Structure 1
Amino acid sequence: MAGIARARFENATDVRPFGGGTGQMSMLDIDGRAVGRAVFEPGWQWSKHVQPIAGTTSCQADHAGYILSGRLAVRMDDGTEETFEPGDVMICPPGHDAWTVGQEACVVLDWAGYADYAKPVVSA
């Protein structure tokens, strides 16, 4: 363990834009731990704006996050659905679609599922 560590999303060097100008995800690697901040603009939907990047039929990230602002709806592959609002802590296993609800951008901090989120799939 290196000791106390500090980082700011404003200084992130790993910024991954979503398709169609619908937001971006900023990644920090702080002391070997990945933390991401996603901004999902109104109209963003995983299946429209990230699926073409990820190359999977649904999001396969295992999220543990906190909603800072806006609203985010999530539908699991089995049809279960939940809408998250500011102040909610979110646990969302792999196998889902998600979209911004309303006309306010949704900002999410995620400390589990963003390390490879919105990274293009590289074929071997």
Structure 2
Amino acid sequence: MTGIARKNFDSADETRPFEDGKGKLDLVNSDRGPVGRAVFEPGWQWSKHVKPIAGTDSCQADHVGYVVSGRMKIVMDDGASEEVGPGDFFTVTPGHDAWVVGDEPCVALDWNGFGGYAVPTGS
């Protein structure tokens, strides 16, 4: 094994589309685990565009990420909320909904929560 590894999201190991064409998740795998780059299109909301895929009441992913561009509102099941935008590092525990704020796609990288994200129930 070499000490350097390089992958490009434009040639991702896997791409998972969201419902209604509202974005996609590109996933690259490494010996340290999967890393994802998601593009959430304007109008995207987890409860509308991923919930039908995941089959859970709220997002159960544990996110550790960084927002490249755009804005997203995250609301926990208990009502706590935060808006994230360009340059923000974020962590989000399981049990939340989220949606794009504004008319610009939100692009985010995630080192923890995208490995099992938007995987159809039963897969």
Instruction: Report the TM-score when normalising by structure 1.
Output: 0.96
Q: CA deviation digits over 1:47-96, x for unaligned, max 9?
A: 00000000000000000000000001000000001000100001000000
Look up the equivalent residue of 1:59 and give its one-letter code.
Answer: C
Alignment partners' CA distance in 2, 1:37 and 1:104: 16
Instruction: Report the TM-score when normalising by structure 2.
Output: 0.96
Aligned residue number for residue 74 of structure 1:
74
| Contiguous gaps of at least 5 residues in structure 2 | none
Alignment partners' CA distance in 1, 2:88 and 2:55: 29
How much identity, in percent, do the aligned residues show?
A: 59
Aligned residue number for residue 89 of structure 1:
89
SS at match of 1:47: helix
Q: How many residues align?
A: 123
Correspondences of 1:16-95 after superposition (within 5 Å): 16-95=16-95
> After alignment, is 27-36 or 75-84 more displaced?
27-36
> After alignment, is 75-84 or 27-36 more displaced?
27-36
| Contiguous gaps of at least 5 residues in structure 1 | none
Q: CA deviation digits over 1:74-121, x for unaligned, max 9?
A: 000000010001000010000000000000000000000000100001
Contact kept? 1:6, 1:30, Cα under 8 Å = no
Give the ranges of 4+ consecutive aligned residues of structure 1 lying more than 2 Å apart after TM superposition: none
SS at match of 2:66: strand
Residue 31 of structure 1: how far off its partner (Å): 2.3
Aligned residue number for residue 110 of structure 1:
110
